Structure 1
Amino acid sequence: MASLLPIIDDILPMILPSSVSVTKSIDIIPPIPPVIQIADGGTHRVRVYSRDAVVNKLDNVCSTVLILSPTSYSTIRHYGEQDAIIYVALGSGVLLTASKDEEEGEPERHELRQGDFAAVPAWTEHQVLNESPEQDTHWVIIRSGSHPVEVHLKGWGRGKAEYPPSRA
């Protein structure tokens, strides 16, 4: 049986159909920051927004782009059973992760600059910050699984979910 494995590896790509899926940057990152209408008729620039990049295209991996405006931050969250790799594509920022010492309660601070990667294991509580007063930060988040799972929390320390995962 072991002798068939190399043959199977050579034959399967010829038998199974495959197609490449391309997501254009213009579909992920709009040319101008998104704006929402507020109740009094005015508008407000969205300071933190997420866009799907590759979702439901592959069985074992997906990716999103998280964009933080200057001096903004994401919610505290975890990705459930999904492991994640976070890449800083533009700007610099801070990745806060739950403290290893739950008694202390202060999150660990990881300074990241453009081009840096961080591996975030499943169930790890974390938050991303853009402390720059001038530049957006673009984070590329690659997760195990065909679609992203996000659980937004009320606070650190295994807090209860504020609302269910943003994507099913």
Structure 2
Amino acid sequence: MASLLPIIDDILPMILPTSVSITKKTDIIPLVPPMVPNADGTPGTHRVRVYSRDAVVGRLDKICSTVLVLSPNTYSTIRHYGEQDAILYVALGSGVLLTASSSKEKDEDDPERHELGQGDFAAVPAWTEHQVLNESTDQDAHWVIIRSGGHPVEVHLKGWGRGKAEYPPSRA
């Protein structure tokens, strides 16, 4: 049986139908962001401070991707991706990746700071608490998040090192 495995790997792609899935930029990042009403209920602006959109989700068994957009002077929740390893890529702008301290000597509320610019990557292991910041005063930051697994897992936390999930979870 073991001798058939290499042959099966060569033949299956020829037998099983495959299709390429395309996600357009306009499907992820709308040209006009949704209207955000003012606190008093009056019409507001077309500005969303932090939002996450699925890019490639449920199309492959072992990998998925989302896009996280942060307006100037905003930040994501503190989160981890459960069992999923992740690669974060700064596609537009710059930002800061805060990660739970790996040092036993540091205070658990004092995360490590990693400055990232456009084109930079960060590998975030499974269960690693982290937060993304856009400290720019005038430019959005777009982060592409690629995770192991066909569907993204996000656990939003109330604080560093506490492991208590936020309920209800926010999407950003």
TM-score for both structures, normalised by structure 1:
0.92
Partner SS, residue 166 of structure 2? strand
Stretch moving more, 42-51 or 142-151: 42-51
The reply to whether residue 29 of structure 1 matches residue 33 of structure 2 is no
Higher strand content, 1 or 2: 1
Partner SS, residue 36 of structure 2? strand
The residue that corresponds to 1:132 in the other structure is: 136
Q: Which amino acid aligns with 2:107?
A: E
Displacement of 1:2: 4.5
Q: Whole-Å Cα distance in 2 between the matches of residues 143 and 153 of structure 1?
A: 19
The residue that corresponds to 1:8 in the other structure is: 8
**Any residues of structure 2 matched to 1:78-157 within 5 Å, and which?**
78-101=80-103, 103-105=106-108, 106-157=110-161
Partner SS, residue 43 of structure 1? coil
- Aligned CA-pair RMSD: 1.7
Stretch moving more, 39-48 or 61-70: 39-48
Q: Whole-Å Cα distance in 2 between the matches of residues 23 and 69 of structure 1?
A: 23
1:3/1:153 Cα in 2 relative to 1: closer, same or farther (>3 Å)?
Answer: same
Displacement of 1:164: 5.8
Q: Whole-Å Cα distance in 1 between the matches of residues 87 and 101 of structure 2?
A: 19
Q: Whole-Å Cα distance in 2 between the matches of residues 139 and 85 of structure 1?
A: 10
Displacement of 1:34: 3.0
Identity fraction in percent: 78
Q: Which amino acid aligns with 1:130?
A: N
1:42/1:61 Cα in 2 relative to 1: closer, same or farther (>3 Å)?
Answer: same
Q: Whole-Å Cα distance in 2 between the matches of residues 145 and 56 of structure 1?
A: 9
Stretch moving more, 76-85 or 99-108: 99-108
Say how many residue pairs are matched.
Answer: 167
The residue that corresponds to 1:63 in the other structure is: 65
Q: Whole-Å Cα distance in 2 between the matches of residues 57 and 109 of structure 1?
A: 33
Displacement of 1:166: 6.3
Partner SS, residue 8 of structure 2? helix
